[in-house]
Structure 1
Amino acid sequence: MGREKTVLVVGGGTSGNALTVLLRRAGIAVDLVEAKDDWNVRGSGITLQGNALRVLREIGVWEEIRAHGFCFDSVGLTAPDGTVLHINEDLRTGGDDLPATLGMQRPVLQRILTDAVRASGARVRLGTTAESITQDGTGVTVRLSDGTEHRYDLVVAADGLNSTTRAAVGIDDRPTPTGMAIWRVQAPRPAEVTRTDLAHGGPCHIAGYTPTGPDTLYAYLVEPHRDRAAIPPENYAREMSRLAEGYGGAWDEIRASITDPAQVNYTWFDQLLVEGSWHRGRVVLVGDAAHCCPPTLAQGAAMALEDAWVLAQLLTGAADWDDELLTRYHERRIERVRTVVEASVRIGQWQLDGVRGDLPGLMGTTMAALKELP
């Protein structure tokens, strides 16, 4: 019997948590370190499409996800006044036995995943970062911010868009702003909201909402990005409510609930696609550390979950974790991720340029490609 392999996962977000559970199920020893003391349990809402749900089912949390989320199979395109212009029936990209889309509160998703990590037997260190990484031909030595030093067969950088691990191993790619930003808020769900509806035009480029449970939704407004320092956080609710005045239909009820600035989030959109190899030696990137895009197709979490699934398949199916294996991981992911990143950025650019692009066509073509297994 060979020596038990060991992995350090840096970052306890969606991809890091998913990978940890999948590797532990195969009997691989995993340490997970997360910089935030609270394991980053925050945020408003998240949209998970079928290909994301397929991975969550593999992790073993689908039934709990379904119980806490809101499933639907279409997206509505509306005028700013709320008039429905087109209803697009979504493809079930995870297969016919899963819904096309599920909305849920982001903190609930994080709690479900962190509970699964705890139950897997992984060793978790919160409020901890990887301070130095030194590798050779047989493994990686990592000094953590708690002063301890450990040796691993593989280190996985799942530490997000501004990954310090990515930079530490000499991958110089950095995220760049797309020129757009988003206001997000959790709110009570009006009874008539049973799917995502998107309005293009009005005071913002995009106004949308997604049901996240029996009584909740998250609403969002997309506009050209502004200097965040010029918007005091205590004014966030007032500013989002002001922008929402340009939208009718369900927005009338949603707008009335936007009163607490602490519940409103304002974030710029960024894009990133690491074009070259996603690994250096025995350190490999997953999720936002390797790629990110505007949420115009709601595929960010799905791509991160797929990364974890594919990497876990390769690691658990091979005796040797060598350069060839990690190269195969990149080859299986790069074109699929590129399709999503480029389509997501294109939709945003149409809005910035005032171009009436074929939104239903681009969404349909992209989703059709994602129905195939990664």
Structure 2
Amino acid sequence: MPAVSSVLVVGGGAAGSAAAILLAGSGVAVEVVEARPGGLDAGSGITLQGNALRVLRDLGVWPAVQGAGFAFDSLGIRAPDPAGTLVAEIPDVRTGGPDLPATLGMHRPVLARILLERAADAGAKVRFGTSLTGLRQDPDGVDVELSDGSSGRYDLVVGADGIHSWTRRAIGIDTEPLGTGMGIWRVYVPRPAEVTRTDLTYGGPCYIAGYCPTGEGSVYAYLVEDAQDRSGLTAAEQVAVVRDLAAAYHGPWDAIRESLTDDTHVNYARFESHLVEGDWHRGRVVLAGDAAHSCPPTIAQGAAQALEDAAVLAELLSGGGAGELDELLRRYAERRRERARQVVDASVQLGRWMLERTPREQADVPGLMRRVSALVAVPA
């Protein structure tokens, strides 16, 4: 018997929608409130490692994800030279198991739509354009107020509302993400035929120039630079900056650059990271995903860690019993914290080596990646 009968999930991203699917499937009455409007059409691409795919398979969405994305099993390294020379092709570890690809890229809004539709099919009620504005809890439940003027009472609230979580602050956890010193430009454009996996270029005007195929006809490309204030740029100026930075990179980058137009949507974000120490809950409100921990995308584990949070939380709640909630939530954080810490630390360390121009013989990137792969190959 589940430890709770009713749950409000705040946030319809990877952690929130996955938790909703699993909890609703175990017989819990679940509602999801998502602040974004129903279209969920903003965003570029997402890279999903094997451990993320393992959870997506358990959620029952792997066929849809596989059909919408682009799977591959290796990583390319290119030189920042006039030819964009491929200098290495490295087999990727299948951290989700031998029956899943090592990596899959897809359009982030498509993943969000697949997960939320699955949550609705599992019985969860999903409301878009709605956010949490107030909560009060007592030993028996949580009373909430929502931005659409409605209110409700639930056995548990799951705060999966992102890196700058309102829920985290509302329950008195003062951990906030800190910048790591890098910023990333992202564009979502037609896929050149020769792009069949992620290729990374280190050096040139950017720390990293990379791309990931997200479907038969699409790719998302990204350029990582020193963090700076880019907020005052117009949309056309943002595209111009991307063109300028990308001019130093060749091979498939030539076609990517040529596909940019003044109307191309550009996303710019600063790398941030944090980890909530101790318990991830206060009373009957618990955090998951980026609300509890975040890392820069240098090893592409953000969504995977969010999905793992949801899987562990739902496993404990679905198999628990009345009167055990506080202990179950404590065990959830204990199971997830150190694994998330190692991923966060590795992601930040990789960026720090680049920022500090650490000599290659001192920056053990292969060793770091092996440790992360070994860690996440074991189910959470």
Bucket of the pairwise TM-score, normalised by the shorter protein: over 0.9
Q: Is the 8 A contact 1:154 1:282 kept in 2?
A: yes
Q: Secondary structure at the match of 1:342?
A: helix
Separation in 1, partners of 2:365, 2:21: 36
Q: Does 1:260 align with 2:262?
A: yes
The answer to whether residue 378 in structure 2 is matched with residue 372 in structure 1 is yes
Residue equivalent to 1:359 = 365
Question: Is the Cα–Cα contact under 8 Å of residues 178 and 345 in structure 1 kept in the other structure?
Answer: yes
Task: Say which is worse superposed, 190-199 or 160-169, in terms of deviation.
Answer: 190-199
User: By how many angstroms is 1:335 displaced?
Assistant: 0.9
Unpaired stretches in structure 1, ≥5 consecutive residues = none
Q: Distance in 1 between matches of 2:117 and 2:254?
A: 37
What secondary structure sits across from 2:209 in the alignment? strand
Is the counterpart of residue 151 in structure 1 residue 153 in structure 2? Answer: yes
2:343 maps to 1:337: no
* Mapped contact 1:12–1:39 kept (Cα < 8 A): no
Tell me the amino acid that sits aligned with residue 73 of structure 1.
Answer: D
Shift of the alpha carbon at 1:339?
Answer: 0.8
CA distance in 2, matches of 1:244, 1:360: 26
Q: What amino acid maps onto 1:327 in structure 2?
A: R
What is the CA-CA distance between 1:196 and the residue it aligns to?
Answer: 0.5
Q: Which of 232, 243, 246 is 2:245 aligned to?
A: 243
Indicate the residue corresponding to 2:175 in structure 1: 173
Alpha-carbon distance between aligned partners in 1 of 2:214 and 2:207, rounded to the nearest angstrom? 23
1:2–1:271 Cα change, 3 Å: closer
1:25: how far off?
0.7
Q: Which residue is 2:209 aligned to?
A: 207
Q: Counterpart of 1:277 in 2: which secondary structure? A: coil
From 72, 85, 88, the counterpart of 1:86: 88
The 5-angstrom pairing of residues 3-22 of structure 1 reads: 5-22=5-22
TM-superposed deviation, 1:354: 0.9
Alpha carbons 1:70, 1:214 under 8 Å: kept:
yes
Residues 238/49 of structure 1: CA separation in 2 closer, same or farther (3 Å cut): same
- AA aligned opposite 1:158: A
CA distance in 2, matches of 1:322, 1:2: 10
> Structure 1 residues 2, 346: CA separation in 2 closer, same or farther (over 3 Å shift)?
closer
Contact 2:4–2:156, Cα closer than 8 Å, also in 1: no
What does residue range 260-299 of structure 1 map to in structure 2 within 5 Å?
260-299=262-301
Give the C-alpha shift of residue 360 in structure 1: 2.2
Q: Who is 2:198 aligned against? A: 196
1:261 CA displacement: 4.5
Structure-1 residue corresponding to 2:353: 350
Partner of 2:46: 46
Indicate whether 1:72 and 2:75 are aligned: no
Give, in angstroms, the shift of residue 229 of structure 1.
2.5
Counterpart of 1:121 in structure 2 is: 123
Q: Which residue of 2 aligns with 1:32?
A: 32
Partner secondary structure for residue 288 of structure 1: helix
Q: C-alpha displacement at 1:74, in angstroms?
A: 1.0
Residues 2, 319 of structure 2: 8 Å contact kept: no
Per the TM alignment, residue 143 of structure 1 is displaced from its structure 2 partner at its CA by 1.5
For structure 2, the 5+ residue unaligned runs are none
Structure 1 residues 228-237 or 214-223, which shifts more? 228-237
1:262 Cα offset (Å) = 4.4
2:184 aligned counterpart, secondary structure: strand
Aligned equivalent of 1:222, options 211, 221, 224: 224
Which residue in 1 is equivalent to 2:325?
Answer: 322
In 1, Cα distance between the equivalents of 2:264 and 2:155?
42
Quote the RMSD (CA, aligned, Å). 1.5
| TM-score, normalization by structure 2 | 0.95
Change (3 A) 1:33 1:237: same
Once the two structures are TM-superposed, the CA of residue 219 in structure 1 deviates from its matched residue by 0.4
Deviation at 1:233, TM superposition (A): 2.8
Structure 1 runs of 4+ with >6 Å offset: 1-4
| C-alpha contact 1:13 1:40 (8 A) present in aligned 2 | no
Residue 146 of structure 1 and its aligned partner are, at CA, apart by 2.2
Identity of aligned residues (%): 57
| Aligned equivalents of 1:4, 1:308: Cα separation in 2 | 15
TM-score computed with the length of structure 1 as normaliser: 0.97
Deviation at 1:322, TM superposition (A): 1.9
- 1:238–1:259 CA contact under 8 A, matched in 2: no
- Higher mean alpha-carbon deviation, 119-128 vs 342-351, is at 119-128
- Cα deviation per residue 1:292-319 (whole Å; 9 max; x = unaligned)? 1110000000000000000000000001
Output the CA distance in 2 between the equivalents of 1:4 and 1:58. 21
Aligned residues: 374
Distance in 2 (CA, whole Å) between partners of 1:219 and 1:46 is 10
Deviation at 1:86? 2.3
